[in-house]
Amino acid sequence: MMFRKYLIAAALFVAMPGWLWAGGTGLYPLFSARTIGLNGLYFAGYDGVNSLNPAALGNLTGMGLTISGADILDQQEFKGDKEGLFKAYRNDNISLSAGFFWNIQPGFSAALTYQPYINYEVDWPFTIFRMQDSNAVILAFDMTNRIKASAISPSVAYSLGSLTLGLSANVYYVQQFSAFPLQNDRGRGDAAYQFEYDQNAWTYGFTLGVMADMTEDLRIGATLKSGFKAKLKGTAKSIMFADLDSTAYQTDVSSEYSAPWVAGLGVVYRLKENMFLNADVSYSLWGSIKKTMDFTLDNPVWQSGLSGSDSLVGINPSSINLNYRNTISAGLGFEYSDGEGMAYRFGYRFSQSPNSNATYSMLFPGVDQHWFSFGIGYTGEGYTVDASLAYSLGVSKNISSGSLPALEGKYSSSGIVPAVSIHFVL
């Protein structure tokens, strides 16, 4: 029996390097294996420094270190009424989190963590066929959108009997990269040109948390995460205006990206000695952020030339529509421990996309999703290894009336999320 458990733990360690990658269109954090296995929310649960609720630090003793990684392998699909079927790449990008905690005195703990709060990516192959001077021309382009917000967070938690309060100060490094083609209607030059925006900024926010043991078997947890506004600056690149207007192929660009306030509520109930049920819900105020993401370009030729929606891809390169709706995510989780170090977990979650009918595009194609997850864990002497695997199934969305023809069609998605976390007691 013990040999089997050590073998499982070793297998999780060996599998970890191939799993530390991520990419997808979910605008929410996914990095901790235990939390993912129990629906991805887990606001009243203890998951060490990986916990979404900073009050969970109050349960920790001694000192420890946690390292986690996940691979969000989404594939988006868009069956356009105008240009036909597109399938996004299942691209990977690194998504690691790590944290250190110290129980300074009974009832008071502190931690320092690095976590990928937002890790959004979609990348499509995009080709167009055109006739030019009696010749057939096939042009290939990148259609990519990446938004990343990584947080460095010092946190503290203080326990007052059955009540624990937690606070995190979050310093975010936000990166935004977009690549897309734009059609050329001037009658000279290429039929379409590639454009790229690459921007970044630092900003800040906070997270408040509370946990309360209502009875020996029932615990309630709640969180409030502040929104943020990032004043992005960077460069825009394309040879279009160099070819057509003899101006620079690159110019400075600036914009603002906002993330919403998010409230979370959860309960954990002990069914039996080694059996636990958790239920969680979160509410995100996406409808309260700025309705457009406006790009200011320093070169006046660029600013004038990018002032309207493009008929090829339906994107306005100077102002992206973000007229989002508020969203709810809700889920259930179940955990069983065998009393000898092994734990088994199952979870389900439904998550709404912030997209409204007016905001769907190939840069923002995210749909509502059902999540089904399974996880296992092993606790040995001085360490714990957790692993999970989640499957997401998107709810297909048809967009027709009120949109540009290039944006009309059927949006859908599916994906898998393997994750591994390792906790060390120092």
Contact 250, 297 (CB under 8 A): no
Q: How do the domains of the chain map onto residue ranges?
A: 2-425
Tell whether the model's pLDDT for residue 22 goes beyond 60.
no
Lowest pLDDT segment from 125-134, 190-199, 256-265, 334-343: 125-134
* pLDDT, tens only, 275-325: 999 999 999 999 999 999 999 999 999 999 998 888 888 889 999 999 999
The whole model's pTM is what? 0.89
Predicted pLDDT of residue 268: 98
From the list 358, 313, 371, the residue with the least C-alpha distance to 74 is: 371
Token readout for 372 is: 């089904």
From the list 349, 330, 344, the residue with the least C-alpha distance to 390 is: 349
Predicted pLDDT of residue 393: 94
Q: Which residues pair with 254 in a beta bridge?
A: 233, 296
Domain 2-425 classified CATH 2.40.160.60? yes
90 band by pLDDT with thresholds 50, 70 and 90: confident
Token readout for 195 is: 């454009």
Per-residue pLDDT averaged across 369-397, rounded? 95
